Amino acid sequence: MQTYTVVILLCVLSVSLYVSGFLGSLETKVSLQIPSYLSMVRERSICSTTALLDAVTGSLFTMDKKRSYTTKLSASSDEAHPRKKAVTGLKCDKWAVITSVNAPTVVVKQLAESKEGLCLVVVADKKSPVEYEVDRSHLVYLTVEEQEKLTYRIMKLVPWNHFARKNIGFLYAIEHGAKQIFDLDDDNELISVKDILGQVFDTKKKAYDVVKTEQYVTNPYMIYLNRPGEYIWPRGYPLEAIKTPHDYKFVAVNSTSTIESIGVIQYLQDINPDLDAIYRITNTIPTTFDKNMKKCLILSKKSFSPWNAQSTLFNSDTFWGMLLPMTVHGRVSDIWRSYFTQKVMWEQGKVISFCPSIVNHIRNQHRLIKDFDAEMPLYTQTEALLHFLNEWTPTRRDTAGMLEELYVEMYERGIVEKKDVEFVHAWLQDLVSVGYRFK
């Protein structure tokens, strides 16, 4: 017992001396009966140099390969075939998709009462109300019972009481004619209910600037806040980059082809934007972005930015990228989705755009410390993930193959778990079955 007490004390002493730069001289200059203890400590790896560093500074997550995925996956899009059965129910080319455990919220009522020709699907969960008292003329409420009747392959995989059940709504919308899908949270409200189709779905009438930068991340929140000296960042933004001086140049877009290459538009949210728990704990909310910043931004290739599932528009070319991973927390799922999708979009020649706020976010009640705990992978893994994605080159060149290959890489490097590889495989098959065509 006394020996290990000495060992522990030596570890503490070694840490102090290591940090001070004196560890190398400890064994040669100190004439005590401790070199043998130090040797024992090192031989048993109790207090190795690496352990000393970890004890002082912690460790960094790396994208080294940690495990192998050995199951052979055939090409997802080759296995499935479009269903021949006629689709019944509502059909629209513009859909909004929401998952909710609440009674109809403000934004649900706003969309349900709109007469502009869009449809809304609300995906219930086991905690959701059975009755949903709202105009159903162009709203579909997928109850638990109705979901159990669906034959999508993902139904056998996606858990109840999980954010990833929103994926069911995406497939439903595609099967029922969607050409554009507005991915939305139930705790928003539209700032204006006039011309919802124009402000949400019409991408060609907006004005755009391309953000030119050599940096591996772009912070659109800082651009739209437009308050020099203040820091703000979206949930999922790498912490190491928060205070990095920005090197942005803005170039007006006059090319129709550039606008047509937009695959995803993230609309910002006012009052309570999508911020991580660190920001929320240490800063004052609410926050509203500069109303004079009216242009949309198109990000440069190889410069990432996180985007969420709160108010995001997908054009049909990128419907494959709507998949929300299910083996991570909901506070992480949509952010990982955004980074995975951006990488494959770039391979397709597609781009991501950010646009000014069209919703006020009236945030549901959250415990910030619980959010902080749930968001830990975002704080510790994002920087390494983004550098890996920028360097990664897929071997497959078809979209489905690239996405599937990427998920295998993410599993092998500890970003998602094995079930998500099975999940993306089922998702890609379901897309084909509901009539989606990869481009």
Whether the Cβ atoms of residue 287 and residue 273 lie closer than 8 Å to each other: yes
pLDDT of residue 85: 66
pLDDT at 45: 43
Q: Residue 311: what pLDDT?
A: 97
Of 78 and 203, the structure prediction assigns the larger pLDDT to 203
In this predicted structure, what is the pLDDT of residue 364? 74
Burial 266-279 (b: 16+ CB within 10 A, else e): bbbbbbbbbbbbbb
User: Are 332 and 389 members of one domain?
Assistant: yes
pLDDT by residue (tens digit) across 346-399? 999 999 999 999 999 988 777 999 999 999 999 999 999 999 999 999 999 999
Instruction: Choose between 428 and 77: higher pLDDT.
Output: 428
Instruction: Give 168's pLDDT tier (boundaries 50, 70, 90).
Output: very high
User: Residue 58 gets which letter from DSSP?
Assistant: -
Range of the domain at 28: 2-56
What is the per-residue pLDDT for 15?
36
Structure-derived torsion over alpha carbons of residues 343, 94, 431, 378, reported in degrees to the nearest 10? 40
What is the pLDDT at residue 411? 99
Q: State mean pLDDT over 399-416.
A: 98
Q: What pLDDT was estimated at residue 251?
A: 97
36 and 81 share one domain = no
pLDDT-derived band at 112, boundaries 50, 70, 90: very high
Q: Report if residue 363 sits inside a domain.
A: yes
Q: Clarify whether residues 15 and 81 are in a common domain.
A: no
**For residue 229, what pLDDT is reported?**
87
Same domain, 306 and 372: yes
Residue 360 contacts residue 269 (beta carbons within 8 Å): yes
Residue 380 resides in a domain? yes
| Per-residue pLDDT, 19 | 36
Confidence (pLDDT) at 296: 98
Same-domain status, 357 and 410? yes
Residue environment code for 17-34, b if the CB has 16+ CB neighbours within 10 A, otherwise e: bbeeeebeebeeeeeeeb
Please answer whether residues 221 and 234 qualify as being in contact, where contact means their C-beta atoms are separated by less than 8 angstroms: yes
Average pLDDT over residues 132-148: 95
The mean-pLDDT minimum among 41-50, 67-76, 242-251, 300-309 falls in 41-50
Q: Closest Cα partner for 290 from 198, 200, 222?
A: 222
Question: Rounded CA gap, 346 and 341, in Å?
Answer: 9
pLDDT of residue 52: 45
Task: Decide if 274 is inside a domain.
Answer: yes
How does pLDDT run across 213-255, given as a tens digit for each residue? 999 999 999 999 999 889 999 999 999 999 999 989 999 998 8
pLDDT at 81: 67
Reply yes or no: is the peptide bond before residue 286 cis, omega within 30 of 0: yes
CB 313 within 8 A of CB 200: yes
Answer yes or no: are the C-beta atoms of 99 and 163 closer than 8 Å: yes
Q: Are residues 344 and 298 in the same domain?
A: yes
3-state secondary structure of 404: helix
The residue with greater pLDDT, 205 or 41, is: 205
Q: What's the CA gap between 282 and 259, in Å, rounded?
A: 38
Q: Which residues pair with 97 in a beta bridge?
A: 121, 183
If one compares 141 and 116, the residue with the highest pLDDT of the two is 141
Any idea which of 193-202, 268-277, 378-387 has the lowest mean pLDDT? Answer: 193-202
Same domain, 337 and 404: yes
Residue 101: inside a domain: no
- What pLDDT is stored for residue 434 in this prediction? 97
Residue 285 confidence (pLDDT) above 90: no
Look at residue 173 and tell me if it is in a domain. no
By percentage, how much of the chain surpasses pLDDT 70?
Answer: 84
Note whether 52 and 197 are same-domain residues: no
pLDDT at position 79, please?
A: 61
**Is 272 contained in some domain?**
yes
Structural domain contains residue 19: yes
Would you state the pLDDT for residue 420?
98
- Count of the separate structural domains present in the chain: 2
Q: How high is the mean pLDDT of the chain?
A: 87
Asked if the model's pLDDT at residue 16 lies above 50, the reply is: no
State the SS3 of 313-379: EEEHHHHHHHCCCCCCCHHHHHHHHHHHHHHHHHHHCCEEEEEEEEEEECCCCCCHHHHHHHCHHHH
Indicate whether 53 pLDDT > 60. no
Q: How many CB atoms lie within 10 A of CB 427?
A: 27
The model's pTM: 0.86
- My answer on whether 313 and 266 are in the same domain is yes
The answer to whether position 47 is within a domain reads: yes
